[in-house]
Amino acid sequence: MALKKDSNSLHGEQEKSQNEDASLLELKNLENKKEIESQPLEVSKGNGNENGFLDFGFNQSILNSLRNKGYKNPTPIQKAAIPELMLGRDLLGQAQTGTGKTAAFALPLIQKLADNKELNAKVLVMTPTRELATQVAESFKSYSSESSNFKTVAIYGGTDYRNQISALKRKVDVVVGTPGRIMDHIRQGTFKTKDINCLVLDEADEMLNMGFLEDIEWIIDQLPENKQMVLFSATMPNEIRNIAKKYLNDPAEILIKSIKKETQLISQKFIYIQRHHKLDALKRILEINNEGVIIFVRTKLLTTSIAEALENSGHTVAVLNGDIPQNQRENTVDRLKKGFINILVATDVAARGLDVERIKLVVNYDFPFDKETYTHRIGRTGRAGRSGEAILFVNQREKHFLRNLENSTRTKIEEINIPSNKIINEKRMEKLIENVNESSLAIDENEDNKALIIDVLDNLKEKYSMDDSNIAMAAINLVIGNKSFFVNEDDSWIHKQNNTDRNRSNRNINNRMRNSNRRNNYQNDSFETYKFNFGKFDGVRVANIISSICNSTNINGRSIGKIQIFNDYSLVDLPRDLHRETKNKLKKIKVRN
Ligand code: AMP
């Protein structure tokens, strides 16, 4: 098990495959070379009653389960892979999670098992992690839910052997497992492999990264010679090609050449941040978006300390790391899916393959070790055609890793600022107004509550002579509670940092522009920030600043950018390259005398 690979590390990473360029899905088939445009999954759900699965030759039970799941049309990878697998061919597929690759191999294999009932045949699927094993097993179960007497078992480490042994003793059609536990069962004689007539290696590159190559080869040696083989991998490094050459027999090759299509629904951002400000920045980000968030950190210890800190700030948080027993992990994922918890703090290995549709934001609290880790992390959001956001924390030392990451993923990761008090307070205000409005709409839905509310209103009016507006104000006050509603902690470090970072970032962008002659789209590039010596203590408001600037100079109100007012100074974004005369006028500006 020596294969802990670090050749893909972002520390000076080289481009691995020239194939990762165009956004095309290509079926390489000697006599039948097709090119199919890759599409987001949403499109494939369809609107009408069409059923694009009819032509594959699936039996009625499979079609029924697809109808139950609401699948109308196959995804591109399914269109390309299913006919090949139905013919019994081996298959080498390059695809990420989120493309529908599980159904691409599960559906034809369920059909094949149904066709060969009398042979007592079995399918073995190997996955790098227990999370992915459970997920793939769940997919097989749901796609076979209408097929009678069809059994799928998941076997993975971290759980009791006994249940797995008794499940393996009974009739089983599909076994999904992680390499270590599969080996254990084969060695103990609790998993008989003589009837395996199909082997799937799912996320093969991940298994390689985790050092499973020797285990995989040992397992393959225990299986019957004559079997169908399917290998799916998100990337195609040489090691995977070698495995394919060694074990696959004239495979059909399906390549999604770019990770672009799958990640383009995810808006990728980064924040320059000093290490000691990370937790504070995280809390501020969660003020803006705290429903369905995964935070990735490097160590188990950090998962718990961050979760505790967030819990103290009033969030519903759970931890996912290697120390958490398997049943508890499954329970956590389930609670996340149902919305009982909103935030998950996880290590990379523990969160691999996690498929929770409501994840809207991924925070890379610690910089990922390599491009694959980054791609997997951000792929936890933007599931099944939904959009998502990914934020990466970058410190001074990690700056050049960011450039490597942008180059190797061929993505522009956009810089954003840490939310200031002003932004957070605006958001809190907006939420309060929204909540009150939603609550007013909800009154009509519950007749009992409505009667009670009218009763309370009558009482207040009669007993305390309160009018409608008094009552409304008191009710809102009750919602706000005793704690101070607005954040007022010192956030000057954010402004200082944002300004230095913006200058640095502008410099970088200018350098990059010189280098590549590319058009940059940095939003604030046309602005410069000016500092004025008046602030909250002088009673200054945004409107005062705008009117003073417009009245004393020829600057148009609409061309004034962001205005931030602090206790004793204000920062105003104004158009870059102002005339010297205008700048002199700005120096003499007076606000409220
Ligand atoms: P996967 O790439 O296998 O992890 O699948 C990603 C998600 O797409 C899962 O939630 C699947 O249930 C869903 N999915 C797979 N195939 C289809 C399809 N043809 N139509 C709609 N959704 C699908």
Q: Give the tens place of pLDDT for each residue, 96-130.
A: 777 889 999 999 999 999 998 877 779 999 999 88
Of 281, 293, 381, 308, nearest to 343 by C-alpha is 293
Query: Does residue 7 belong to any structural domain of this protein?
Result: no
Ligand 1 pocket: which of 39, 41, 142 to mutate (most atoms within 8 A of CB): 41
Largest Cα–Cα separation, the chain: 94
Query: Does residue 563 belong to any structural domain of this protein?
Result: no
Domain shared by 273 and 162, yes or no: no
Q: pLDDT at position 378, please? A: 92
Q: How confident is the model at residue 147 (pLDDT cuts 50, 70, 90)?
A: very high
Q: pLDDT at position 514, please? A: 32
The string over 313-338, giving b where at least 16 C-beta atoms fall within 10 Å of a residue's C-beta and e elsewhere, is eebebbbbbeebeeeebeebbeebbe
Distance, CA 75 to ligand 1 centroid (Å)? 8
Query: Does residue 491 belong to any structural domain of this protein?
Result: no
- The ligand 1 site (C-beta within 6 Å) comprises 41, 44-45, 71, 74-75, 78, 97-103, 355, 384
Q: pLDDT at position 507, please? A: 45
- 3-state DSSP: the chain helix, strand, coil percent, rounded to 5? 50, 15, 35
Q: What is the pLDDT of residues 275-292, one digit of tens each?
A: 999 999 999 999 998 889
Do 88 and 65 contact (CB within 8 A), yes or no? no
Q: pLDDT at position 453, please? A: 92
**Atom 10 of ligand 1, residue of closest alpha carbon:** 384
Supply φ then ψ for residue 33, to 5 degrees: -85, 115
Query: Does residue 434 belong to any structural domain of this protein?
Result: yes
Of 317, 509, 536, nearest to 421 by C-alpha is 536
Strand partners, 122: 196
Domain shared by 254 and 156, yes or no: yes
Query: Does residue 14 belong to any structural domain of this protein?
Result: no
CATH label of the domain that carries residue 384: 3.40.50.300
Domain shared by 50 and 168, yes or no: yes
Q: Which of 200, 230, 261 is the last residue of a domain?
A: 261
Least confident of 31-35, 178-182, 212-216, 395-399: 31-35
Q: Calculate the average pLDDT of the chain.
A: 82
Q: pLDDT at position 261, please? A: 47
Query: Does residue 1 belong to any structural domain of this protein?
Result: no
Domain shared by 454 and 399, yes or no: no
Helix, strand, or coil (residue 447) = helix
Distance, CA 277 to ligand 1 centroid (Å)? 39
Between strands 570-575 and 527-532, the pairing is antiparallel
Given a cut of 90, whether residue 462 has pLDDT beyond it is: yes
How many domains does the chain divide into? 3
Domain hosting 346: range is 265-418
Q: pLDDT at position 19, please? A: 30
**Atom 1 of ligand 1, residue of closest alpha carbon:** 100
Distance, CA 99 to ligand 1 centroid (Å)? 6
Do 384 and 42 contact (CB within 8 A), yes or no? yes
Domain shared by 228 and 272, yes or no: no
Do 153 and 168 contact (CB within 8 A), yes or no? yes
Q: The whole model's pTM is what?
A: 0.49
Q: How confident is the model at residue 60 (pLDDT cuts 50, 70, 90)?
A: very high
Q: Which of 261, 286, 301 is the last residue of a domain?
A: 261
Rounded distance between C-alpha atoms, residue 545 and residue 30, angstroms:
70
Query: Does residue 531 belong to any structural domain of this protein?
Result: no
Distance, CA 467 to ligand 1 centroid (Å)? 55
Given a cut of 50, whether residue 398 has pLDDT beyond it is: yes
Q: How confident is the model at residue 519 (pLDDT cuts 50, 70, 90)?
A: very low
Domain shared by 442 and 464, yes or no: yes
Q: Which of 418, 433, 453 is the last residue of a domain?
A: 418
Domain shared by 427 and 335, yes or no: no
DSSP 263-300: HTTEEEEEEE--GGGHHHHHHHHHHH--SSEEEE-S-H
Share of the chain above pLDDT 90, in %: 46
Q: What is the pLDDT of residues 423-461, one digit of tens each?
A: 999 999 998 998 888 888 888 778 888 889 999 999 999
Do 269 and 289 contact (CB within 8 A), yes or no? no
Domain shared by 208 and 337, yes or no: no
Given a cut of 90, whether residue 400 has pLDDT beyond it is: no
Helix locations, 31-124, DSSP H: 41-45, 60-69, 76-86, 101-115
**Residue partners of 501: CB distance under 8 A and separation at least 6:** 272, 415, 417
Domain shared by 254 and 315, yes or no: no
Q: pLDDT at position 503, please? A: 55
Domain shared by 147 and 279, yes or no: no
Given a cut of 80, whether residue 315 has pLDDT beyond it is: yes
Query: Does residue 354 belong to any structural domain of this protein?
Result: yes
Tokens 């695809």, located at residue:
95
Q: Which residue has the higher pLDDT, 376 or 391?
A: 391
Q: How many helices (H) and strands (E) does the chain have?
A: 22, 19
Tokens 């005398």, located at residue:
593
Q: What is the pLDDT of residues 130-146, one digit of tens each?
A: 888 999 999 999 999 99
**Atom 17 of ligand 1, residue of closest alpha carbon:** 100
**Atom 6 of ligand 1, residue of closest alpha carbon:** 98
Q: Which residue has the higher pLDDT, 232 or 386?
A: 232
Q: pLDDT at position 41, please? A: 41
Rounded distance between C-alpha atoms, residue 10 and residue 13, angstroms:
5
Domain shared by 269 and 254, yes or no: no
Distance, CA 81 to ligand 1 centroid (Å)? 14
Distance, CA 297 to ligand 1 centroid (Å)? 28
Cα radius of gyration (the chain)? 29
Domain shared by 122 and 199, yes or no: yes
**Atom 15 of ligand 1, residue of closest alpha carbon:** 100
